């Protein structure tokens, strides 16, 4: 836009927008980092002792889940009946993402019920 010399005002507005977005992202990251550091020190939110103890099981299930999803994707795409073209098996990732959210909700509900 800047090099075509057609509408300098529109190009300057886009540049200003990008600068404002960058300033906003910087502010969110800076404040979020400080807030998380304070939560870790004070053991609040996701950093309580109970939450830290439950994280191990959730991480194990998440790792196993995504390894199984990758295996299904590879088998479906490159297996004996696959066509070797991943652009036809993209839907596996969309379905896996939605199911993963459901699995995590169930895991957290079960853990809360046991405590």
> CA Rg, the chain, in Å?
23
Give pLDDT tens digits for 57-99.
889 999 999 999 999 999 999 988 888 888 888 899 999 999 9
Predicted TM-score (pTM) of this structure: 0.62
89's tokens: 């098996």
pLDDT category at 5 given cuts 50, 70, 90 is low
DSSP 67-79: HHHHHHHHHHHHS
Domain boundaries defined on the chain:
1-47, 48-115
Q: What is the pLDDT of residues 10-48, one digit of tens each?
A: 888 889 999 999 999 999 999 999 999 999 999 988 888
- In this prediction, residue 86 carries a pLDDT of 82
Q: By the 8 A CB rule, do 61 and 103 touch?
A: yes
């Amino acid at each position: 836009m800047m090099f075509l010399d057609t509408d300098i005002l529109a190009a300057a507005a886009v540049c200003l927008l990008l600068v404002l977005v960058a300033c906003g992202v910087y502010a969110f990251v800076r404040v979020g980092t400080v807030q998380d550091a304070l939560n870790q020190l004070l053991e609040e939110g996701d950093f309580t002792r109970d939450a830290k103890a439950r994280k191990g099981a959730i991480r194990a299930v998440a790792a196993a889940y995504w390894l199984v999803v990758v295996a299904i994707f590879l088998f479906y795409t490159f297996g004996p009946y696959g066509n070797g073209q991943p652009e036809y098996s993209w839907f596996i990732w969309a379905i896996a993402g939605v199911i993963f959210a459901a699995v995590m909700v169930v895991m957290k509900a079960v853990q809360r019920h046991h405590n």
